[in-house]
């Protein structure tokens, strides 16, 4: 097993209280959600069920999963036998149908991505591409631990952030390599077998690849016990770090002899309500961005006019589900009062106690970087890093509101050095 100490948080009560379930899956003491979902049988082949009835069935099966998860967390040794057709099969089937009038994100384009006759905001058809995958050592400590977060970066995005710091991935739909669901499952399997603490679905944004991801998770839950050499050779083409050279202890990646890993959803969080319901039965921990306030900033800087309404709705849903999550808020130059303050005020009022990373990592990129050929002068106010005074003001707002942020924002740095 991977002991909790390897995650690097020791007995910090903030994390122990809120993230015990995630930590239990990370060190294989508990089964991941997808493991439980794979053990929940479905009597009728999902492909034969009408879509409205299949959504009703999903609701009932999700309730069953919630009950199983509570029993597991209370110490019960529930059956984990893999079913030929399970809750995972229902999720994958519904995602494939949704692709035919795509409603994965709040744009609700309604285009038939399966037929690839027309493209929506994400500019994608039915295929998915992975830019790279690797052991990510740059995520928050609870996610990267000591062995890394198993990060899979997808290409393309459903937002148009002028300052995107993954612009090469998000703006180029042809970046990386094309993958099918089995290849994606093999990538996840490799990362976990090499010791990663989680599988970190990210991009661009992963939401627009939901059909491929849910089918990959179904394969992990039902079929993929040991990829063959051809599977592994195909997957490594997109791997950014070396493949582990020798055999690894299966206890790093199994619970009761079955492949096990927590699934982390690292997203801009403009998913549709339907997508949220498809993700709920398989995501063990959530990592949403919350960048913009309720004014025009999201429209002006990311061409997403309804951003505030959608992100706050989705955050409230995860909170109501009592799911573990942390929020990332990026402090941007000239946007403390219009974005940082209202974002933190909303979190303090509606999500009390949820940890927030008040991030200082902003730097000019994509269309805000004067050194970039694509630079646009209208973004000149964002063509610099945030000043110390802006960061101090942001931290002071968070502290005055009672936001849980210092442990995750500073990670070992004395926060008193940031306040006058």
| Burial class, 282, CB count within 10 angstroms (exposed 0-12 / middle 13-18 / buried 19+) | buried
- pLDDT score at 1: 39
Under 8 Å between Cβ of 110 and 133: no
Closest CA to 343 of 295, 408, 279, 282: 295
- pLDDT score at 70: 96
What residues contact residue 395 under an 8 Å CB cut-off, 6+ apart?
Answer: 358, 405, 409, 415, 418, 419
Chain segment 50-86, per-residue pLDDT in tens: 999 999 999 999 999 999 999 999 999 998 988 889 9
pLDDT of 17 over the 50 cut: yes
Closest CA to 2 of 193, 195, 260: 195
- pLDDT score at 205: 96
- pLDDT score at 419: 53
- pLDDT score at 2: 45
Banded pLDDT at 228 (limits 50, 70, 90): confident
Tell how far CA 127 is from the center of its chain.
19
Task: Name the least confident of 113-117, 233-237, 410-414.
Answer: 410-414
Q: How confident is the model over 96-124, as a mean pLDDT?
A: 95
Going along the chain from its start, the domains and CATH numbers come out as: 1-285 (no CATH), 290-420 (3.80.30)
Chain segment 333-369, per-residue pLDDT in tens: 999 999 999 999 999 999 999 999 999 999 999 999 9
Q: Distance between CA atoms of 72 and 31, rounded to whole angstroms?
A: 8
Under 8 Å between Cβ of 297 and 339: yes
pTM score: 0.95
Tokens of 408: 């995750």
Instruction: Output Rg (C-alpha) for the chain, integer angstroms.
Output: 21
- pLDDT score at 165: 87
Tokens of 56: 């009703």
Chain segment 162-206, per-residue pLDDT in tens: 999 887 888 888 889 999 999 999 999 999 999 999 999 999 999
Enclosing H/E stretch for 276: helix 273-279
The DSSP output letter for 175 is -
Chain segment 280-320, per-residue pLDDT in tens: 999 999 999 999 999 999 999 999 999 999 999 999 999 99
Enclosing H/E stretch for 263: strand 263-267
- pLDDT score at 420: 42
Q: How far is CA 420 from CA 391, 414, 416, in A?
A: 12, 13, 8
Quote the crossing angle between the two packed helices 210-222 and 181-193, to the nearest 10°.
60
Mean model confidence pLDDT for the chain = 92
Q: Distance between CA atoms of 67 and 85, rounded to whole angstroms?
A: 20
Q: How far is CA 401 from CA 98, 152, 387, in A?
A: 40, 35, 22
């Amino acid at each position: 097993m991977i002991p909790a100490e390897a995650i690097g948080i020791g007995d910090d009560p903030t994390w122990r209280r809120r993230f015990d379930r995630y930590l239990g899956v990370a060190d294989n003491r508990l089964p991941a959600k997808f493991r439980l979902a794979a053990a929940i049988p479905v009597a009728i082949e999902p492909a034969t069920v009408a879509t409205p009835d299949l959504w009703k069935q999903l609701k009932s099966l999700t309730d069953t999963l919630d009950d199983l998860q509570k029993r597991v967390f209370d110490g019960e040794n529930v059956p984990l036998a893999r079913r030929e057709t399970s809750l995972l099969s229902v999720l994958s089937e519904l995602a494939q149908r949704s692709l035919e009038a795509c409603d994965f994100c709040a744009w609700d384009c309604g285009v038939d991505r399966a037929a690839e006759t027309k493209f929506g905001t994400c500019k994608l058809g039915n295929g998915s591409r992975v830019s790279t995958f690797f052991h990510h050592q740059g995520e928050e400590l609870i996610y990267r631990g000591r062995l890394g977060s198993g990060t899979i970066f997808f290409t393309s995005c459903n937002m148009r952030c002028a300052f995107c710091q993954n612009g090469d991935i998000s703006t180029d739909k042809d970046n990386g390599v094309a993958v099918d669901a089995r290849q994606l499952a093999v990538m996840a399997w490799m990362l976990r077998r090499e010791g990663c603490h989680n599988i970190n679905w990210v991009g661009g944004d992963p939401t627009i690849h939901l059909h491929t991801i849910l089918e990959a998770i179904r394969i992990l839950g039902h079929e993929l016990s040991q990829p063959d050499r051809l599977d592994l050779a195909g997957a490594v083409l997109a791997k950014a770090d070396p493949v582990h050279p020798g055999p690894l202890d299966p206890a790093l990646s199994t619970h009761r002899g079955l492949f096990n890993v927590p699934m982390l959803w690292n997203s801009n969080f403009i998913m549709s309500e339907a997508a949220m319901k498809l993700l709920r039965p398989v995501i063990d921990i959530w990592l949403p961005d919350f960048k913009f306030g309720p004014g025009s900033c999201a429209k002006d800087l990311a061409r997403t006019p309804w951003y505030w309404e959608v992100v706050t709705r989705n955050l409230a849903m995860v909170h109501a589900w009592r799911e573990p999550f942390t929020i990332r808020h990026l402090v941007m130059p000239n946007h403390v009062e219009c974005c940082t303050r209202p974002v933190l005020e909303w979190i303090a009022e509606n999500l009390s106690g949820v940890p927030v990373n008040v991030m200082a990592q902003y730097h000019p990129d994509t269309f805000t970087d004067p050194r970039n050929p694509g630079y646009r002068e209208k973004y000149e106010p964002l063509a610099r890093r945030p000043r110390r005074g802006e960061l101090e003001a942001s931290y002071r707002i968070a502290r005055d509101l009672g936001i849980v942020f210092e442990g995750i924002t500073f990670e070992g740095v004395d926060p008193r050095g940031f306040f006058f």
